[in-house]
Amino acid sequence: MKRKATGIILPIAYLLFSALGLYYLYRATGSKGFESGSFLWAVPIVIIAVFIYRKIKKKGQLVLSAFETRRVIFSAVFSYLLSLSFFAGYYLRYYLMTPPGITGKIGMLSRSLFLAVFFFPFIDSIFMYADRIGVRIPGIEKDKTETEEKKEAEVRATKSGNKRIWSEKGIFFLSWGCIFVLWIPVFLAYYPAIMSYDSNRQFQEAYNGIFWELQPIVHTLLIRTALLIGEKIGSYEVGVSFYTLLQMLVLSASIAYAISFVFKLLKKKWIAFALTGFFGIFPVYSVLSLVVTKDIFFSAFFLTLMVLSIKRFVYTPKHPVLYDIAMVICAVLMTVFRKNGIYGVILFAILYVIAMKKERIHILILCVIMIAASFAGIHLTRLALHAAPGPKTEMYSVPIQQMGHVVFFKKDMLSEEELATMEEYLSGSTKWKSFNLTLADAQKACANPDAWTNMPKMFKDWIHFGVRFPDDYIDAYLGLTSGYYFPDDVSISQHLGYGRESMRGLIETFNASKPLDDCYPGVKSESKLPWLQYLLEGPVSDEMYLNWPVISVLFRPAFYCWAAFLLYGVLLYKKRYRELAAASLQLMYFLTVAMGPVANIRYVFQLMIGLPVLVSFVIFSLQEKQEAS
């Protein structure tokens, strides 16, 4: 009787709490109550409620033994954080602020509890799957040498009929070739390259041979090399096309190496095929591979370092010195293409040394060399090319945005002395007519470098305004990073407008390379397949992906961030602390990205292409523990 009552009460309670949570969320979108569109919220409620009821009824009881306390806590925490991200995101989108004051924040936190009930079954199923994964997937014993792995792979390949193709090396070359070939039509559609973002300034620097640290010096040097080749040939477009093809080759090779490692871990050919097709066809990857920006080369070397570090942890390499050299080279290359990469490497190195307990001294030496070589690479390239130092305010994007938020929205509440202080840090800020909540570049342009680099005074003033206006500081940061945590965020494709005509949106594809003088006419876009370019502009510029059910999540950076966050949570839940440390490069680097001037898809591109590796490594780790037990 008790079991029957539980089977009825639980679905009803879930239905009521979920309905209330979705109602509050609907109110957060600007509605005043249950109006016409609110009926749509009831559909998933009924479906999920029926699903849970049937599941409980089938078992005849609420299986409390399966609802282990640890799993319930983890599922509840992640459900609550996901719920909170929706409320914060919608409040900022429709009201440009979260509920103010302590009462307002408590109200938002409380309403999030109800919506968390709605998400709980979904999140709990992930952790439940983690508990069962070892039974479902055939395992691999840990700490095998590469020689032993190679022999087993040869046996499997011989049984499948082709020893060469179904080896790790065969998968690598097959994936590399397929991805690169699939990207060629997109390359022709945007021939010779997509020269957006910082290309205008960077192409002019490259043409004049003047290097500025605002952009990676090595990247500007690559562009200059392409322009010099084009000048010799007689066509800047051809020269830049060589750069694009090189970038495509490097990126596709890195992704193919990651796919081959996934195949090595999971031993599933269909996964290798699926990933090859996905990276080759999905427009985000093919289009971004053509963008002349530092983030593409950086992401390629980042992904390779991630694979090497995990591979070094999982297997005992036959030639460890070769792995060490490869890891150092990748670390240096990724940091010279993005200086903030060095901070992620430092944080990762600390955890990696802890993870590699069998070779701790060796790995410690490796990490020290890796960090030292990265710093040396940054400084030597600057000295060799006589680069001018970049703006010192670049690292203060978040404080600039927070103080700018205060002076724009709370100017009437500031004293004359406080307004003068604001002017000292942000010139002309007291006369601003607009404020971009999701992009700090406009505010950053007004920053006075001398004031911001006076650390003791700056920190004191920053704390002063933060204590007076905590709501503004919270809203400024949440607005700046909403593209990373808010699953329904649209600001990430609307920072500077969007649409086919402007060629701005999720990925900016317009040509920013402008003529400098009579000798340098700029690099012209000459699409060879305009019809394909028009089709691709739909999702990348015109926001068509927002209308595509289910598949639209694959265009949203927040999906990849939450997926990675959950995977790290699974490792933590299963107490796989060494595995978590060994795979923490993504997490450590994201901490630096979260302090950037804007949430941009190219800033988390390395996370997007590295997610399959993280998924396969988590599956492998959980399955290995099951076999060991």
Check whether 152 has a pLDDT greater than 70: no
What span, in angstroms and rounded, lies between the C-alpha atoms of 363 and 429?
A: 49
Whose CA is closest to 542, among 494, 608, 486, 583? 494
Check whether 302 has a pLDDT greater than 90: yes
In the chain, domain spans: 2-136, 146-390+526-542+557-628, 394-484
Instruction: Report the alpha-carbon angle 178-184-189, nearest 5.
Output: 150
Q: How many CB atoms lie within 10 A of CB 564?
A: 21
Supply the pLDDT for residue 143.
47
What span, in angstroms and rounded, lies between the C-alpha atoms of 482 and 93?
A: 9
Can you tell me the mean pLDDT for 383-412? Answer: 85
Can you tell me the mean pLDDT for 592-616? Answer: 92
Integer angstrom CA distances of residue 417 from 202, 262, 432, 449: 40, 59, 18, 20
In the structure, what pLDDT confidence band is assigned to residue 84 with cuts at 50, 70 and 90? very high
Q: How many CB atoms lie within 10 A of CB 27?
A: 16
pTM of the entire structure?
Answer: 0.88
Instruction: Please state, for a pLDDT cut of 90, what percent of the chain lies above it.
Output: 42
Q: What is the pLDDT of residues 190-211, one digit of tens each?
A: 999 998 888 878 888 888 888 8
Q: What is the pLDDT of residues 354-379, one digit of tens each?
A: 888 878 898 899 999 999 999 999 89
Check whether 413 has a pLDDT greater than 60: yes
What span, in angstroms and rounded, lies between the C-alpha atoms of 299 and 221?
A: 18
Mean pLDDT of the chain: 83
From the number of C-beta atoms within 10 Å of its C-beta (0-12, 13-18, 19+), residue 605 rates as buried
What span, in angstroms and rounded, lies between the C-alpha atoms of 183 and 187?
A: 6
- Scored b (16 or more CB within 10 A) or e, 149-168 reads bbeebeeebeeeeeeeebbb
**94 against 519, higher pLDDT:** 94
Q: What are phi and psi of 144, to 5 degrees?
A: -75, 155
Supply the pLDDT for residue 295.
92
Q: What are phi and psi of 598, to 5 degrees?
A: -165, 155
- Residue in the structure block whose two tokens are 């990651």: 258
Q: What is the pLDDT of residues 229-281, one digit of tens each?
A: 998 988 889 999 999 999 999 999 999 999 999 999 988 889 999 999 999 99
- Scored b (16 or more CB within 10 A) or e, 468-488 reads ebebbbbbbbbbbbbbbbbeb
Q: What is the pLDDT of residues 495-532, one digit of tens each?
A: 777 888 888 888 888 887 777 666 677 788 888 999 99
